[in-house]
A and B are shown apart, each in its own frame.
Chain A
């Protein structure tokens, strides 16, 4: 299965551990990712806050570049996923916007007809690879490990833009279960808790730190009180906020959280018995805890 890969800026920087685990597990799952040549930033939430048409235009450049390859574009980042998908939706829904985007792309020597399908890598792994195949590939059943799936917001919200859960859309916007099923396929126990799609604060962490930390605290507290050994996520910004800021959250709220926050591809890697270093687990700010290590060794 071959896809056009759109990494996004984060996995090339602070989320390099995500990329390392993707590089480690995707070949084993039969997924071939060919990086989109000379891709640019999707614009994220910031660009849209300043300029609308320009924001759609830079996002559309990636879709136009990808269209030449006639394959789905796959991204590991929730923000990239939402922005690219929303660009497609608006391109289809607003003729005036479509015309202007066409003109802008033309100025850069490109054209786009709206045919690039945008998918998140979780969707590809869950639906194209499938649970049965993953369960069959598991070398080390993660029995006894309680894993809280944290979807965050943007991966499940394009539901609205795509109008219905289909192959392209990931899951239910309020109560998604695809990562829950994946956790169970690795032999681990999926922790039931209510905050799995509650926002982590995203880029508010840069501008209104205390408010974002409050949101993170609530997520961590809910996961912990429901017995999670670790949290598994699919978004670079969620991972950054919950992992790197966890000690700061502890200082601000007097809490004592010590919950590793790993990427779902790292969890798959552990179940496929890949070495921790290859999966980028050494880069976590909150290291794997002793109970977690014991479970992994015993597995």
Chain B
């Protein structure tokens, strides 16, 4: 864990409110810094700030520092923190919210490849209605580091050898209906 000093100069007083108004974020104000989340998190050791510390930063209004951290990008959505939180904060959902804000406001740094992965996934699902793993991985690698294509060729061949690599896209019939649902949801976005 990196314990460097926070860089942000001005406090963002609205940040806590912003998070607390998201579905799942209501109870963030109740965090009493017990650290159960950090102790349970499988990836806390690589985070700039552990989840506990991040919540302190959210409450104190360190919006820039929070969004510039790698913490939420390392969240694997395993939900163990959410299950164990004695204050019933939906921590995983707060991490999702931070990812969304970061993507929207372009806080995504190249080394945090998760953003590229997620948006490739969404593009494919919006087009076909279903995910298509080979295309997802190729798109992601092209977006982040094309040498990954070579580095992962063996893995791809291994899957192909065992008949586990689909060649054809799997599309749903009601793609227009699905898109209408997505469009409507987009216009109503929370």
Does A181 lie at the interface of the complex (its beta carbon under 8 Å from any beta carbon of B)?
no
**In the complex, which residue of chain B has the Cβ closest to the Cβ of A218?**
B42
In the complex, the answer to whether B165 meets A14 with C-beta atoms within 8 Å is yes
Main secondary structure on A side of the interface with B: helix
Contact with A along B116-127 (1 / 0, CB 8 A): 111101100100
Known pairs A13-B164, A57-B181, A204-B74 / 14 extra A-B pairs, C-beta < 8 Å? A9-B131, A10-B131, A13-B165, A50-B99, A82-B79, A96-B190, A108-B178, A110-B177, A153-B79, A157-B78, A160-B83, A199-B78, A201-B42, A244-B158
In the complex, the answer to whether B184 meets A104 with C-beta atoms within 8 Å is yes
Of A103, A107, A207, the residue contacting B113 (CB under 8 A) is A207
In the complex, the answer to whether A40 meets B118 with C-beta atoms within 8 Å is no
Of A52, A53, A108, A285, the residue contacting B158 (CB under 8 A) is A285
Of A39, A47, A104, A110, the residue contacting B172 (CB under 8 A) is A39
Q: How far is the CA of A19 from the CA of B185 in the complex (A)?
A: 32
Does B60 lie at the interface of the complex (its beta carbon under 8 Å from any beta carbon of A)?
no
A interface, size bucket: 35 or more
Q: For B132, list chain A residues within 8 Å (CB).
A: 9, 13
Of B74, B155, B166, B172, the residue contacting A13 (CB under 8 A) is B166
Identify the B interface with A (CB < 8 A): 22-23, 42-43, 46, 74, 76-80, 82-84, 96-97, 99-100, 103, 112-114, 116-119, 121-122, 125, 129-133, 137, 140, 155, 158-159, 162-166, 170, 172-174, 177-178, 180-186, 188-190
Does A41 lie at the interface of the complex (its beta carbon under 8 Å from any beta carbon of B)?
yes
**In the complex, which residue of chain A has the Cβ closest to the Cβ of B133?**
A13
In the complex, the answer to whether A54 meets B186 with C-beta atoms within 8 Å is yes
Q: For B113, list chain A residues within 8 Å (CB).
A: 206-208
Q: For A244, list chain B residues within 8 Å (CB).
A: 155, 158-159
Q: How far is the CA of A51 from the CA of B1 in the complex (A)?
A: 29
Q: For A107, list chain B residues within 8 Å (CB).
A: 180-181, 183-184
Q: For B140, list chain A residues within 8 Å (CB).
A: 206-207
Does A203 lie at the interface of the complex (its beta carbon under 8 Å from any beta carbon of B)?
yes
